[in-house]
Amino acid sequence: MNVAPHHMVIMAECSACGEAREFSKTSLPPGLRHAEVREVEKRLKCASCGAKAGKLRFGSYRDD
């Protein structure tokens, strides 16, 4: 996670319900700040439906 540029937007998306929210690397516990993306994704839990089916998307996002 520490190799993702600071200017890049990270979105967390739930594969179960489709909810998407912006994700902040600063919200990670210190032990996960140097973890691989797949390790962080295993621990994501959707705030809407409670599923542990999160995926991180990296890039530039805009509201339509």
The pLDDT value recorded for residue 8 is 82
> Element (H or E) spanning 41, and its range?
helix 37-43
**Residue 14 near residue 46, CB atoms below 8 Å:** yes
Domain assignment of residue 20, yes or no = yes
Domain membership flag for residue 36: yes
Q: What's the structural domain count of the chain?
A: 1
Residue 48 lies in a domain: yes
Tell me the residue range of the domain where 21 lies: 9-59
pLDDT block averages, 10 residues each, the chain of length 64: 77 95 89 91 94 91 60
* Burial 24-41, CB ≥16 within 10 A → b, else e: eeeebeeeeeebeeeebb
